[in-house]
Chains A and B, each alone.
Chain A
Amino acid sequence: MQVYLPIAEVSVNAFLLLGLGGLVGILSGMFGVGGGFLMTPLLFFIGIPPAVAVATEAAQIVASSFSGVLAHLKRKTVDLRMGTVLLVGGLIGAAAGVQVFALLTKLGQVDLLVRLCYVVFLGLIGGLMFFESLRAIRRARRAGHTPVAKRRQRGWIDALPFKMRFRTSGLYISVIPPLLVGLFVGVLAAIMGVGGGFIMVPAMIYLLGMPTKVVVGTSLFQIIFVTGFSTLMHATTNFTVDMVLAVLLLVGGVVGAQIGTRIGVRMKAEQLRILLAIMVLIVCGRLAMDLLLEPAELYSIGFAGAGH
């Protein structure tokens, strides 16, 4: 069944979109990730214009994170104060990111920017995760026990001014690092059409030293507002949010996530992580090839005005 997408202005098979949503949903349910970093490149591959893919994916992330945030709020595993600081940075970053996106669309370099961001971040995260989980599997085989995590070392972060007490996380640190983390994630959200959890969660644990139990809830709290904001920015400056596309992907995604969660609980954490790492590296490699190999068609057509 073909569906004509009103904003993307292409005709796509509805079951393909439901299926894609479902597939990414299963993976995100299994691995507990947002899935935006997989969905957006997949949308490029099936011929959705990158600008529409990025903006629509932002709307989808809001919707799919919504129930998660509610659950975490109920369990009180959200550090609202830290979330707000991250959010302030995130909103500034997203606003800047959307402007950069609009400017590069005009210059014809938006495709390159989005792809480059993906290759760099997917390569980095995938590579780190792959080696880290390999090491974890080897360690588990050899010793059969997990070593005690080292306490966070006091360093340059504690020397920064504007300290603030974050009671839920049990931290007394400067607001500058969380602001910068939020800002960075906001820019990525606007440019890459991702939630940014894959950057924020490690940054919160290793850089800010937040306790693991509040990390996921707090990052979801920040993500939902930042991606919501970037959806609105894309809708008003670039006119690229496709409602029909978002709903189709979402319905598939939500059902897929439920299935994925059930599969996920039956697998070991290290195995899951190594699988996710391999998948991330495959997507990264596919995108890198497009940049490095000579394309079959050197020319491309762009519209003179952005969005229209």
Chain B
Amino acid sequence: MLALTLLLTTIPVQETMAQETVVAGLSRAAIEINTNFNGSEILIFGAVGRVSPPPEGAPLHVIITVEGPDQPVTVRRKERRFGIWMNIDAVEVDAAPTFYAVATTGPLNEVLTQTEDLRLQISVPRAIRAVGVNVGDTDNFTDALIRIRGDSDLYQMNEGSVTLRDATLFDTSFRLPANLVEGDYRTRIFLTRNGEVVGSFSHDIAVRKVGLERFIYNLAHDRPLLYGILSLVIAIVAGWLASAVFRYIRP
């Protein structure tokens, strides 16, 4: 009996899901970090595909998220000890995205219900998981993480920055800062009605160091001793060259 009710309730949801689907495109499939990398902009656009006319009633909303690779981080808090401000308490955050941006067509609390947010981990606080509890006020630490990363544009909340035309065509752009971490950046697009997600789409953008940056980074981590020696030799040669050139110009 229970199984039957579950079955009955799931069918209509699946039907609505199938009614409106996302057809999306990205302005670029990959982002390359090279020597003069200074941040990047990605344009995300798409259309809502339908087999029948849009349902009446609640308007359609679009939420787009871009999420960088997760990393465990330690958030530390300074306190005054012996007259000096030093790190005392720390909270380990098991997984925090190195970059996270949300763009919506309207205020997030109107276009998405709390339950859906919890289920799909859409808003910034939901995307962070802090498990290790060393102190009582863990929330202050995760808030600080969001605040600090928000200040350097690593966490962005762009409410109302998605334009939706005729409930069909949508587009938005994200500004990626210069200090990006390498990895696959998951882009998710959600269609919502009445705060419920009715359609979704997901795609990865690869962010990679290329050229000289790639070479130096790999060398430093794969052959650290060789890299260290090479750094010294290059530094010595560069210093010698600079002084030779200078003496040549101004005898």
* Interface set of A (CB-CB < 8 Å, partner B): 1-4, 6-7, 9-11, 59-60, 62-64, 66-67, 108-109, 111-112, 116, 228, 231-232, 234-236, 239, 241, 243-244, 246-247, 250-251, 253-255, 257-258, 290-295, 297-305
Nearest Cβ on chain B to A81's Cβ, whole angstroms: 25
Chain A residues with Cβ below 8 Å from B179 are: 9-11
What 10 A-B pairs come out closest when comparing CB atoms? A235-B228, A299-B144, A11-B178, A63-B235, A254-B242, A63-B239, A304-B72, A232-B228, A236-B224, A6-B216
Chain B residues with Cβ below 8 Å from A301 are: 73-76, 145, 148-149
Q: How far is the CA of A228 from the CA of B229 in the complex (A)?
A: 9
Q: Helix, strand, loop or mixed for chain A's interface?
A: helix
Q: How far is the CA of A257 from the CA of B246 in the complex (A)?
A: 11
Give a binary string over B77-121; 1 marks a CB under 8 Å from any A CB, 0 the rest. Answer: 111100111110010100000000000000000000000000000
Known A-B contacts A9-B179, A63-B236; the reply to A241 vs B72 at CB < 8 A is: no
Chain A residues with Cβ below 8 Å from B76 are: 108, 299-302
Q: How far is the CA of A293 from the CA of B85 in the complex (A)?
A: 8
Nearest Cβ on chain B to A55's Cβ, whole angstroms: 9
Contact indicator B235/A299 (Cβ below 8 Å)? no
* Interface set of B (CB-CB < 8 Å, partner A): 33-39, 71-80, 83-87, 90, 92, 140-141, 144-145, 147-149, 178-179, 181, 209, 212-213, 216-217, 220-221, 224-225, 227-232, 234-236, 238-240, 242-243, 246-247, 250
Chain B residues with Cβ below 8 Å from A305 are: 72
Chain B residues with Cβ below 8 Å from A10 are: 178-179
Chain A residues with Cβ below 8 Å from B78 are: 295, 298-300
Q: How far is the CA of A236 from the CA of B220 in the complex (A)?
A: 8
Chain B's closest residue to A112 (CB) is B86
Most buried by A among B209, B231, B247: B231
Instruction: Pick the residue among B36, B213, B221 that contacts A1 (CB under 8 A).
Output: B36
Chain B residues with Cβ below 8 Å from A255 are: 242-243, 246
Contact indicator A2/B38 (Cβ below 8 Å)? yes
Nearest Cβ on chain A to B230's Cβ, whole angstroms: 7
Instruction: Pick the residue among A6, A66, A232 that contacts B229 (CB under 8 A).
Output: A232
Chain B residues with Cβ below 8 Å from A258 are: 243, 246-247, 250
Chain B's closest residue to A7 (CB) is B220
Chain A's closest residue to B219 (CB) is A243
Known A-B contacts A1-B36, A304-B72; the reply to A59 vs B77 at CB < 8 A is: no
Chain B residues with Cβ below 8 Å from A66 are: 236, 239-240
Chain B residues with Cβ below 8 Å from A236 are: 224-225, 228
Chain A's closest residue to B217 (CB) is A6
Known A-B contacts A63-B238, A247-B235, A299-B75; the reply to A4 vs B213 at CB < 8 A is: yes
Instruction: Pick the residue among A7, A228, A292 that contacts B216 (CB under 8 A).
Output: A7
Contact indicator A239/B74 (Cβ below 8 Å)? no
Chain A's closest residue to B143 (CB) is A299
Contact indicator B232/A231 (Cβ below 8 Å)? yes
Contact indicator B231/A302 (Cβ below 8 Å)? no
Contact indicator A292/B84 (Cβ below 8 Å)? yes
Chain B residues with Cβ below 8 Å from A235 are: 220, 224-225, 227-228, 231
Most buried by A among B39, B83, B86: B86
Contact indicator B239/A59 (Cβ below 8 Å)? no
Chain B residues with Cβ below 8 Å from A111 are: 87
Q: How far is the CA of A293 from the CA of B84 in the complex (A)?
A: 8
Q: How far is the CA of A50 from the CA of B72 in the complex (A)?
A: 20
Chain A residues with Cβ below 8 Å from B38 are: 2, 4, 11
Contact indicator B231/A241 (Cβ below 8 Å)? yes
Known A-B contacts A299-B148, A304-B92; the reply to A294 vs B231 at CB < 8 A is: no
Contact indicator B213/A6 (Cβ below 8 Å)? yes
Instruction: Pick the residue among B212, B213, B228, B239 that contacts A241 (CB under 8 A).
Output: B228
Q: How far is the CA of A252 from the CA of B210 in the complex (A)?
A: 26
Nearest Cβ on chain B to A243's Cβ, whole angstroms: 5
Nearest Cβ on chain A to B133's Cβ, whole angstroms: 16
Q: How far is the CA of A294 from the CA of B234 in the complex (A)?
A: 42
Q: How far is the CA of A250 from the CA of B240 in the complex (A)?
A: 10
